[in-house]
Amino acid sequence: MKLPIFIADAFTTKAFCGNPAAVCLLENKLGEDMHQKIAQEMNLSETAFIRKLHPTDNFTQKNVSSTLTFVTLSGELRVRRGEDDIVLDFPLYPAHPQDFHEVEDLIKTAIGDTLVQDICYSPDTKNLLVRLSDTYNRSFLENLKVNTQNLLQVENTGKVKGLILTLKGESDGQARAFDFYSRYFAPWFGVAEDPVTGSTHTVLGSYWSQQLGKKNMHAFQCSHRGGELEISLRPDGRVDISGSAAIVLEGTLTA
């Protein structure tokens, strides 16, 4: 069995930055065991398997301008090609104020005595959003040592499944300043730190839109790989999250 396979770095224009993902194109359905074996062989946190639902669908079409709908295990994902990027259509999830004392042990374990300005919780995604003090800058967030190893030992009754650290943006000499920065940790799912996370920006977009009074925002996730995202809140209560992608590997998998 020979399968076309790619590795793409999402939310970046540069190879070896952004969020790496393997994409395997299928003509026929594979068993779950084979999915797992291929994902383990690729050794990436994201491996996607794309199969045509209709024989007339064309994987090689270059100029796709309409919206494509992917039926996934997490629900439908709608994607369209923008002028210079790819646009993902997500629900927008609100983040509600969270009492510090209820999550104090978790926060202290993760970031010690780092100053915190605001804490919110998203019940839809089970993400805890921790906004660091405005006295910090991007460099501080990038270099912050986060203790993810001990987070699993903190009692939280399953309420928190992901930790978002975020910081207000600043004018840092960029041609276009970033509105906010973030990092994301999910050791509860075996991910110490995710390089760039589109889904967390469904929460970050909601939070920072209220804080900044903006519907369109430019964001940067400060992992060691780093990635840029454009956030656009829509009138229908959803959010467009867009970014570029760089294909760094194209080949054939033999199984």
Query: Which one from 27, 41, 46, 142 is the annotated catalytic residue?
Result: 46
Angle at 189 between CA 185 and CA 192, to 5 degrees: 35
| DSSP-assigned states of every residue in 138-197 | HHHHHH-----TTGGGS--TT--SEEEEEEE----S-SS--SEEEEEEEGGGTEEEES--
Catalytic, 46? Answer yes
- Please say whether the beta carbons of 86 and 79 come within 8 A: yes
Reading the block at residue 8, the tokens are 């793409």
Closest by alpha carbon to 132, among 100, 109, 165, 158?
165
Distance, in Å, from the CA atom of 251 to the CA atom of 254, rounded to the nearest integer, reads 10
Q: Which residues are catalytic?
A: 46
